[in-house]
Chain A
Amino acid sequence: DAGVIQSPRHEVTEMGQEVTLRCKPISGHDYLFWYRQTMMRGLELLIYFNNNVPIDDSGMPEDRFSAKMPNASFSTLKIQPSEPRDSAVYFCASTLGGEQYFGPGTRLTVT
């Protein structure tokens, strides 16, 4: 398996623009997680899905953030409008249960 795939790997955008991050989980995994990592706060869980259904979105910082999982092989995290404080590395991870497997991350810079 290719592992968890994320795109783009790097994104630079201006404040106020819409940003969409994409994730393809490992085939057969039924849980998908979105995390944000910063130097100040470490790795924070934003939202996670089970069988394409959002289970816990309590980590989503604001209404500007939204996530969808239209099918078992694809998920998006959208930020609209983006702000400089959203600059971070965003990771997607998937699991069947137990250990989670992480993608390579998307480094987002909002200027």
Chain B
Amino acid sequence: EDQVTQSPEALRLQEGESSSLNCSYTVSGLRGLFWYRQDPGKGPEFLFTLYSAGEEKEKERLKATLTKKESFLHITAPKPEDSATYLCAVQVNTGFQKLVFGTGTRLLVSP
């Protein structure tokens, strides 16, 4: 069974304190790994797609990386507006367009 595990469940940072979120996966064949941001009361918002080990994507203070077993979302010098839940999802080769989501990491950045 395809599984996605995210850690930690919750993370509290001070503004400017860099850290990383982890997404480990066990799948039959990875087609793509997706990162989403979800704010309270809203739907998930797409951030990145990674397709192969070694690939990296960046957007403002966020950088996503991918290995054969896990992905990291690095947050550099976070600001309070980066506070949100970050979701990781995998798309497998046999699942057409289906995504399997992790349970997310709740990030709180304090000023």
Contacts and interface: CB of A to CB of B under 8 A. Distances in A.
Interface of A: 4, 31, 33, 42-45, 48, 50, 55-56, 91, 93, 95, 97-105
B43 A91 contact: yes
B97 A43 contact: no
B96 A55 contact: yes
Q: Bin chain B's interface residue count.
A: 20 to 34
A48 B43 contact: no
Most buried by A among B32, B36, B99, B104: B99
A18 to B, nearest CB: 24
Contact of B42 (A33, A48, A55, A104): A104
Contacts of B91: 98
B32 A45 contact: no
A21 B46 CA distance: 23
Given A98-B32, A98-B49, A99-B49, A43 B98 contact: no
